[in-house]
Amino acid sequence: MKLDSAITEALSLNPANCHVQSHGGSGFSTTAKITTSTNGKSKHFFLKTGRGKDAQVMFAGEHTSLNAIHDIVPTLCPASLAHGSLSDSPGSFLVTDFLDLSPTRSTSSTKASGSDSSSGLSLATKLATLHTTPAPPPPNCTTPQFGFPVHTACGSTIQSNTYTASWPTFFAQHRLLPILSLGEQRNGPDPTLRSLVERTVASVVPALLADAHLKSGNGGSGGGVTPVVVHGDLWSGNHGVARLDSPDPNNAPGPIEDVIFDPSACYAHSEYELGIMRLFGGFESRTFWDEYHAICPKAEPVEEFEDRVALYELYHRLNHYAIFGRGYRDGAVRVMEGLLGRYMGGGAR
């Protein structure tokens, strides 16, 4: 496989000293491993390529997402090194650090290790650290906002991330209502589903997420929650244990770390992450959650925690309905009917 000249230029690689082979798989792109060497030391990169405008948007979003996470917890995900348009053929590319993934996965609080350079941090600790670090303020703002600098893709769904000061406004206007419209575009009009989503936006979202109601879980006095970086699509298939490239010039084995990848990040309420984690399982360990919540406590009111997670899970159920069809509709309907039964009219029942 020949390496496109846009990639060799972006990474300052000698094409004659590069080997490219198919590696891994993706439903939305072609993936490969690039191997090169300098002074006898091997170096590996992970490459994604794709065609069309959506691929360009996806790769720009993933590039920015990975680096937003990596800047806070460097061993939690690969750094993204470059993205852009291919030069020698139509399409776009994304190049990241390479992860040598293990066939086994761990979501316990036991730290991953493999060498003296291992961080010694568990997935629970890394994720909680990410979720307790305030997002950077956007340009021309003095405080963090909910949103993200670029569009992102959750699966094949392109998400708008326009900065918004209010979390319930962002969640309603940039997640629930747009995914309802996309589902209708792809599956046809559904008056019942539309009514349920609109009633959920009108009643449940303000009841559970209103800025004056929702408080951070660290003893704050109210005023809403602080935007933090979330992965945005953290199901078990986007988590693994990997050996990272070694920083040792003598080619000693690199550290083994719990890692996450394929993000669809935004600056959000930390509990938004838990909706997708809950939906498909893989994160059921009580030890994991005890360690996580010791660092990142549940928001207040704590007694509404399960309902908030169900509300955040609803977005991903609707997204799967939009992508994969009617098999996901009934689950979304059940979530909304349950929440509306408790919060219809703006208050808990």
Residues acting as catalytic residues: 233
Cβ atoms of residues 94 and 262 within 8 Å:
no
Per-residue tokens: 215 = 């408080």
How many helices (H) and strands (E) in the chain? 11, 12
H helical segments located in 172-285: 177-187, 191-199, 205-209, 272-279
Cβ atoms of residues 275 and 313 within 8 Å:
yes
CA angle, corner 168, sides to 164 and 173, nearest 5? Answer: 65
Residue found by looking up tokens 């046809």 in the block: 188
Other Cβ atoms within 10 Å of 149 Cβ, number: 18
**191 Cβ contact list (under 8 Å, min separation 6):** none
Cβ atoms of residues 239 and 103 within 8 Å:
no
